[in-house]
Amino acid sequence: MKVYQSNEIKNISLLGSSGSGKTTLVEAMLYESGVIKRRGSVDAKNTVSDYFPVEKEYGYSVFPTVINLEWLGKKLNIIDCPGSDDFIGGTVTSLNVTDTAIILLNAQNGVEVGTQNHFRYTEQHKKPVIFLINQLDHEKADYDKTVEQLKELYGGKAVQIQYPISVGPGFNALIDVLKMKMYQWKPEGGEPQILDIPASEMDKAKELHNILLEAAAENDETLMDKFFEQGALEEEEMRIGIRKGLVLRDVFPIFCVCAEKDMGVRRLMEFLGNISPSVSVATKPVTLDGKEVAPDENGPASIYIFKTSVEPHIGEVSYFKVMSGKVKSGDDLINMDRGTKERLTQLYAVAGQIRNPIDELDAGDIGATVKLKDSRTGNTLNEKGCDYHFGSIKYPDPRYRRAIKPLNEADAEKLSEILTRMHEEDPTWIVEQSKELKQTIVFGQGEFHLRTLKWRLENNDKMMVEFIEPKIPYRETITKAARADYRHKKQSGGAGQFGEVHLIVEPLVEGVPAKDVYKFNGQEFRISARDVQVYPLEWGGKLEMVNSIVGGAIDARFIPAILKGVMDRIEQGPLTGSYARDVRVIVYDGKMHPVDSNEISFRLAGRNAFAAAFKEAGPKILEPIYDLEILVPSDKMGDVMSDLQGRRGIIMGMHSEKGFEKLTAKVPLKELSSYSTTLSSITGGRASFVMKFASYELVPADVQEKLLKEYEATQQDKE
């Protein structure tokens, strides 16, 4: 393979909902470009893209797959992304290192929720978009409706470059209004006959050609002037205008294809080679310190690792983009994240599971290397003296969680190592060793996502595991002021232990200071704050300690010990053993002994006095509440709302958004355990949602009573 320059490299993300046909399209493109001699199929489990065992088992893509091919003197680096919303991390990864997105649509289904989700991500990353309508040979294909939906969503920016003469099982021809030609295929597809447009289609073709002319001219003043003067543009001039419109996201071309029959694939590849933006004109990547980095092959060598995987028969493979300069086999680079040296022992141009050794890759190109010692996904590797540093990719918040444990407890440490490695392969698999819940929690984008993780553990790593319902990270707080005292006294020959602490607890409210006088059971307690310290708690909320000791009742050196005692109980609240928060503790009196008082005595006295006061202060349990944003088809709105209300959800708002309804709601985490599965079931997989932590709120009285009984039962079991 020749070494390509940045103006010859096109980096493309291939996106689309499950079932849109991305993997089949990739097979056709690889076949047409000569990379493979025979096309595989998803059903036969022999495609270049889906080569991991789990992908063959389930029949869907799990990881983004890098594909490269040569066409018309250009190199197309295509990343085939999983279609399921559960694997959205692949889309985010891909859009961070590519310059154009193809969004594939199934002509039977038209615009789906997944289509809109993918488009939103292209919007966030400011990437050009090409719409590609596939499966035009299906008996339920509806090209016109799909185009109508695209225009409704994206207005005049969605511009047809092709349209089929007819759809359904007899599909074999389309009109290209850029070239003003008809493309027609024999049943085996492949290379088309290029014919004149039939008279019956000429009026429609001219109308769409003029719309395309105007869209192309709008992005260049010179072209606009010529268009107004002559009413026409040359094909090359239209290409220039379309390319500029793509980069500015002012033009979203619409193409047609029947990937399974290899019809329209060559023309698509031709468009990508000739018109889609090359690396040299695409938006420049930016370093963590805000520096734009041009894809200059004469610049300092710098690569960014965007994907790591452990692959059959080869081990760890690191996929990277050359951000600047050029890299060669044998180069030594410095890892900017870890400060270690790495040698690129071998470089590869990859097409799925096909890897061809190469000697050099230039700026903007995408390749792979193997067996790096200490480099991970998101790391930047530079030549000596270069300070470029590109940050980690930001992924969506997880939407599904399960506690995981090995069936054999002796495998716990090994499981932790495997999960860490799997997080490297898919950063949207998040692992947390929760000290609070005493569980290992795995987070993902949905049930499908975590089911895939479990399959890989059990089949690839022979690690048998089980998922269990994760505990909820409740919090405890108080709702009124209370007072308590506690004397710790122990005598066992020689020096004993003695410490007595009197304290008041009350809810800590931002901006509300401690009072001067508190009254309990008709008795007044006057407070004179000598010192106030506020401690932010790592699990949220605060603890405020007020030292109001007068007359030396407790020596100042014992106050830190009292604080430690309070923290002991803050970390294990008396109601359910959950963390407590937002409490003010006022130490106002006590006693000490000149010989027997020590730190441990006051720590124990402080802990027990706090626990006693907390229980009298109207203790309440708080639960985590999440903000949900749900995109749902209009006809399923009522079902989704009814389900949310059954989950103690509060609907915060709703409005129509381009053919779908957007619902916002607040829902307790406890009620979201299997929400992704339920939502998919209710809507036939046509809805999606995002969730984000909002706040902690008081649980209803009936829920608190149930939680208290459950905790009491667990404590009795321990006894």
Cβ atoms within 10 A of the Cβ of 37, count? 7
Cβ atoms within 10 A of the Cβ of 682, count? 16
What would the pLDDT profile of 472-492 be if each residue is shown by its tens digit?
Answer: 999 999 999 999 999 999 877
Question: What's the one-letter identity of residue 680?
Answer: S
Query: Tokens 């991390």 identify what position?
Result: 89
Instruction: Give pLDDT, residue 52.
Output: 82
Instruction: Report the C-alpha gap between 267 and 201 in whole angstroms.
Output: 20
Instruction: Report the C-alpha gap between 588 and 68 in whole angstroms.
Output: 73
Question: Closest Cα to residue 175, out of 161, 186, 188, 187?
Answer: 161
- For the segment 22-49, the average pLDDT, to the nearest whole number, is 91
Q: Does domain 476-618 have CATH number 3.30.230.10?
A: yes
CATH of the domain spanning 6-274: 3.40.50.300
| Architecture label for domain 302-382 | Beta Barrel (2.40)
CATH of the domain spanning 621-703: 3.30.70.240
What would the pLDDT profile of 352-405 be if each residue is shown by its tens digit?
Answer: 888 999 999 999 999 999 989 989 999 999 999 999 999 899 999 999 999 999
Q: Is 208 helix (H, G, I), strand (E, B) or coil?
A: helix
Q: Where does 532-689 have alpha helices with state H?
A: 559-570, 599-616, 637-645, 675-683
Burial 293-313 (b: 16+ CB within 10 A, else e): bebbbebbbbbbbbbbbbbee
Question: What's the one-letter identity of residue 145?
Answer: K
Residue 267 has pLDDT above 80, yes or no: yes
Instruction: Give pLDDT, residue 550.
Output: 87
Instruction: Give pLDDT, residue 584.
Output: 97
Cβ 400 vs Cβ 444: under 8 Å: yes
Cα dist from 589 to 65, 307, 554, 557, whole Å: 68, 60, 7, 15
Instruction: Report the C-alpha gap between 444 and 400 in whole angstroms.
Output: 5
Instruction: Report the C-alpha gap between 242 and 251 in whole angstroms.
Output: 7
**701's torsion region: left (phi>0), alpha (psi -120 to 50) or beta?**
alpha
Instruction: Report the C-alpha gap between 343 and 334 in whole angstroms.
Output: 9
Instruction: Report the C-alpha gap between 219 and 224 in whole angstroms.
Output: 8
Question: Closest Cα to residue 180, out of 159, 211, 202, 147?
Answer: 202
Q: Bigger pLDDT: 586 or 236?
A: 586
CATH superfamily of the domain spanning 401-471: Elongation Factor G (Translational Gtpase), domain 3 (3.30.70.870)
Cβ 360 vs Cβ 347: under 8 Å: yes
Q: How many CA atoms lie within 13 A of 653 on its CB side?
A: 5
Domains 401-471 and 621-703 belong to one CATH topology: yes
Instruction: Report the C-alpha gap between 206 and 232 in whole angstroms.
Output: 11
Instruction: Give pLDDT, residue 60.
Output: 78
Question: Closest Cα to residue 180, out of 203, 214, 156?
Answer: 203
Domain residue spans in the chain?
6-274, 302-382, 401-471, 476-618, 621-703
Of the chain, the percentage scoring pLDDT greater than 70 comes to 99
Which are the contacts of 307, defined by CB distance < 8 A and separation ≥ 6? 63, 64, 66, 93, 318, 319, 377, 425
Residue 719 has pLDDT above 70, yes or no: no
Q: Which helix (H) or strand (E) holds 213?
A: helix 199-217
Taking the mean position of all CA atoms in its chain, how far away is CA 302? 25
What would the pLDDT profile of 304-347 be if each residue is shown by its tens digit?
Answer: 999 998 887 788 899 999 999 999 999 999 999 999 999 999 99
Instruction: Give pLDDT, residue 493.
Output: 66
Cβ 564 vs Cβ 545: under 8 Å: no
DSSP-derived secondary structure letter, 657:
E
Instruction: Give pLDDT, residue 658.
Output: 65
Length of the chain as a residue count:
719
Which are the contacts of 207, defined by CB distance < 8 A and separation ≥ 6? none
What would the pLDDT profile of 503-526 be if each residue is shown by its tens digit?
Answer: 999 999 999 999 999 999 999 999
The encoded tokens of residue 111 equal 């615009």
Phi and psi at residue 664, to the nearest 5°:
-120, 140
Cβ 305 vs Cβ 318: under 8 Å: yes
Instruction: Report the C-alpha gap between 467 and 419 in whole angstroms.
Output: 14
Cβ 6 vs Cβ 295: under 8 Å: yes
What would the pLDDT profile of 72-120 be if each residue is shown by its tens digit?
Answer: 999 999 999 999 889 999 999 999 999 999 999 999 999 998 898 999 9
Cβ atoms within 10 A of the Cβ of 634, count? 10
Question: Closest Cα to residue 34, out of 1, 66, 80, 81?
Answer: 1
Task: Report the mean per-residue pLDDT for the chain.
Answer: 92
Per-position DSSP letters for 113-178, written without gaps between them: HHHHHHHHHHHHHT--EEEEEE-TTSTT--HHHHHHHHHHHHGGGEEESEEES--STT--EEEETT
